């Protein structure tokens, strides 16, 4: 590492790993419940498990993005972080929000204050009182980054795109905090947060991280990489903003969204294709001399799997004629799992694999274990995606075409969840190996400082 304060990134990544383990645990609870083995129902009913599962996903990814930003911004700005002390305060408050939220989902201790423990709005379940703590946390995070960039010697395109993505993500949290009486309006503006995050500004964050990794790992000229970064994020917004319309087909708003959403969401894979081509071409152009092959594997993997998961599988059910039948079925879970994994989980994991040797000074990269972690995690996730996909298509046929009752259909689908559990087990083995690698690196230390 070049700056001592970059060490703070390690603890955000450590928090990410902890929350990822918890997220997987809740995924198993849900998988078994779908197979009819719901023994934990009294303590962890499915809706609690699901909210915990998806909120842990959001928080561990955000923690990963924050860790990445705390590593990238000082290096790009050529200066120490504005305040390491405040960065640790921000880390602790983020962890606190996570812990209070999860415990609150299970035990409604908020009731003593007359507050709700959960908002019951998919992906935005964090109760309103904690929303303000999240807002304070994110403002502190952005102030630290901004002050670092101001005092720094350089402002690069990579750091601007990353910072812009983080600011936009913070601003887009606000529409989710507005209360509506109408379910239609509620749903409409909920997508301003969820869609414009994951199919908009989070791609800016991903693009910034990917550009940084490509610059460091391929040795290709920064100007070339950053030029294509603009093209990729340009395509993302050009298609993704109006692509929000694919969530508005069937929620009770004007059918103009069938046309607008249909056309622009069909263009969304182009942004992911451009990202994959950009990453692969930069690697091919590069010197291929960097010894951290594991980080390269995760980086290229992220670009390619995000194209398959977010791009191709998104396209598979994005047209209104198809979505009419697949909307509200397990087909969405198929797309969601591979998209989040490829686009966001893998880029965070790529960043961690690049950063750990630099923070700790231990060059443990490119081992059999690290390669096995990559391939097993991906094999597991592709198996899970396939299981969700087959279950989803079967559900569409039986429930939406043959009009079989929901409960009967779900009983018929149980076998697919056995396949899902097997896939999830392979995935978990991969993640376990990855975390063993993480632990083997040990703690960051000043001896790793580049002279």
Find the binding residues for other proteins in span 244-263 (CB under 8 A): 244-245, 248-258, 260
From the list 121-129, 135-143, 357-365, 419-427, the region that binds other proteins by CB under 8 A is: 121-129
Give the Cα separation of 53 and 33 in Å (integer).
Answer: 14
Closest approach, Cβ 65 to other proteins, in A, equals 20
- Characterise 115 by phi-psi region: left (phi > 0), alpha (psi -120 to 50), beta (else): beta
Size of the site for other proteins (CB under 8 A): 73
The two counts, helices (H) then strands (E), for the chain are 17, 0
Q: What is the CA radius of gyration of the chain?
A: 21
Please tell me whether residue 410 binds other proteins under the rule CB under 8 A. yes
Closest approach, Cβ 99 to other proteins, in A, equals 19
Instruction: Decide if 154 contacts 78 (C-beta within 8 A).
Output: yes
Residue nearer to other proteins on the CB measure, 21 or 251: 251
Residue nearer to other proteins on the CB measure, 223 or 447: 223
Please tell me whether residue 7 binds other proteins under the rule CB under 8 A. no
Residue nearer to other proteins on the CB measure, 17 or 214: 214
Neighbours of 359 (CB within 10 A): 23
User: Which whole-number Å values give the CA distances from 62 to 57, 166, 171, 176, 433, in the listed order?
Assistant: 9, 10, 14, 17, 22
Please tell me whether residue 89 binds other proteins under the rule CB under 8 A. no
Closest approach, Cβ 130 to other proteins, in A, equals 15
Q: Which of 21, 28, 116, 442 binds other proteins (CB under 8 A)?
A: 116
Q: Which of 88, 107, 230, 397 binds other proteins (CB under 8 A)?
A: 230
Q: Which of 112, 114, 153, 407 binds other proteins (CB under 8 A)?
A: 407
Question: What residue spans of 290-345 are helical by DSSP H?
Answer: 293-306, 313-316, 320-326, 330-340
Give the Cα separation of 430 and 370 in Å (integer).
Answer: 9
Residue nearer to other proteins on the CB measure, 211 or 349: 211
Q: Hey, which residues between 134 and 193 contact other proteins (CB under 8 A)?
A: 157, 181-188
> Could you tell me the two tokens for 181?
């009486």
Contact characters 368-397, other proteins, x per CB under 8 A: ------------------------------
Instruction: Decide if 61 contacts 94 (C-beta within 8 A).
Output: no
Residue nearer to other proteins on the CB measure, 62 or 161: 161
Closest approach, Cβ 336 to other proteins, in A, equals 10
Closest approach, Cβ 72 to other proteins, in A, equals 19
Distance between terminal CA atoms of the chain? 9
Please tell me whether residue 226 binds other proteins under the rule CB under 8 A. yes
Residue nearer to other proteins on the CB measure, 139 or 231: 231
Residue nearer to other proteins on the CB measure, 30 or 210: 30
User: Residue 413 in 3-state DSSP?
Assistant: coil
Instruction: List, in order, residues 6 or more apart from 315 with CB less than 8 Å away.
Output: 265, 266, 268, 269
Please tell me whether residue 416 binds other proteins under the rule CB under 8 A. no
Give the Cα separation of 404 and 396 in Å (integer).
Answer: 10
As a dihedral over the C-alpha atoms of residue 39, residue 45, residue 51, residue 57, rounded to 10 degrees, the angle is -10
Closest approach, Cβ 70 to other proteins, in A, equals 25
Closest approach, Cβ 234 to other proteins, in A, equals 4
Residue nearer to other proteins on the CB measure, 43 or 88: 43
Q: Which of 19, 33, 68, 305 binds other proteins (CB under 8 A)?
A: 33
Question: Which of 192, 211, 213 minimizes the C-alpha distance to 203?
Answer: 211
Instruction: Decide if 187 contacts 244 (C-beta within 8 A).
Output: no
Closest approach, Cβ 127 to other proteins, in A, equals 9
Residue nearer to other proteins on the CB measure, 47 or 445: 47
Please tell me whether residue 233 binds other proteins under the rule CB under 8 A. yes
Closest approach, Cβ 187 to other proteins, in A, equals 6
Closest approach, Cβ 242 to other proteins, in A, equals 5
Residue nearer to other proteins on the CB measure, 140 or 242: 242
Question: Which of 187, 292, 203, 211 minimizes the C-alpha distance to 239?
Answer: 203
DSSP assignment of 40-97 = TTTTS-HHHHHHHHHHHHHHHHHHHHHHHHHHHHHHHHTS--S-HHHHHHHHHHHHHH
> Could you tell me the two tokens for 427?
């995935």
């Amino acid at each position: 590492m070049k700056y001592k304060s970059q060490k703070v990134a390690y603890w955000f990544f450590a928090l990410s790993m902890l929350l990822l383990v918890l997220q997987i645990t809740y995924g198993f609870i849900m998988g078994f419940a779908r197979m009819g083995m719901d023994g934990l129902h009294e303590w962890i009913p499915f809706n609690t498990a699901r909210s915990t599962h998806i909120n842990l996903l959001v928080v561990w990814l955000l923690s990963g993005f924050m860790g990445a930003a705390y590593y990238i911004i000082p290096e790009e700005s050529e200066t120490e972080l504005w305040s390491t002390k405040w960065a640790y305060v921000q880390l602790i408050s983020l962890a606190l929000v996570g812990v209070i939220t999860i415990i609150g989902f299970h035990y409604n201790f908020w009731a003593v204050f007359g507050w709700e423990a959960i908002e019951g709005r998919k992906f935005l379940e964090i109760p309103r009182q904690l929303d303000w703590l999240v807002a304070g946390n994110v403002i502190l995070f952005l102030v630290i980054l901004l002050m670092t960039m101001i005092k720094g010697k350089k402002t690069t395109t990579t750091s601007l795109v990353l910072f812009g993505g983080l600011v936009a993500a913070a601003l887009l949290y606000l529409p989710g905090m507005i209360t509506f009486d109408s379910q239609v309006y509620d749903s409409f503006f909920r997508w301003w947060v969820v869609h414009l995050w994951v199919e908009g500004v989070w791609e800016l964050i991903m693009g910034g991280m990917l550009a940084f990794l490509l610059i460091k790992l391929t040795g290709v000229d920064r100007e070339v990489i950053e030029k294509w970064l603009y093209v990729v994020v340009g395509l993302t917004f050009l298609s993704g903003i109006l692509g929000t319309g694919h969530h508005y087909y069937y929620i009770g708003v004007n059918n103009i969204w069938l046309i607008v959403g249909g056309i622009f969401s069909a263009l969304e894979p182009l942004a992911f294709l451009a990202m994959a081509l950009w990453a692969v071409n930069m690697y091919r152009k590069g010197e291929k001399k960097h010894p951290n092959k594991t980080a390269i594997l995760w980086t290229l993997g992220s670009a390619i799997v995000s194209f398959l998961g977010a791009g191709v599988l998104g396209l598979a059910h994005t047209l209104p004629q198809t979505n009419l039948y697949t909307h509200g079925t397990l087909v969405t879970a198929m797309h969601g799992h591979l998209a989040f994994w490829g686009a966001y989980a893998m880029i965070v994991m790529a960043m961690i694999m690049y950063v750990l040797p630099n923070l700790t000074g231990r060059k443990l990269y490119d081992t059999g274990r690290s390669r096995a972690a990559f391939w097993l995690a991906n094999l597991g996730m592709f198996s899970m995606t396939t299981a969700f996909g087959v279950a989803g298509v079967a559900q569409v046929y039986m429930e939406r075409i043959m009009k079989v009752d929901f409960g009967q259909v779900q009983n018929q689908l149980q076998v697919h969840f056995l396949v899902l559990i097997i896939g999830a087990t392979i995935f978990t083995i991969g993640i376990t190996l990855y975390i063993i690698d993480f632990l083997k690196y040990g703690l960051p230390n000043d001896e790793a400082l580049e002279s």
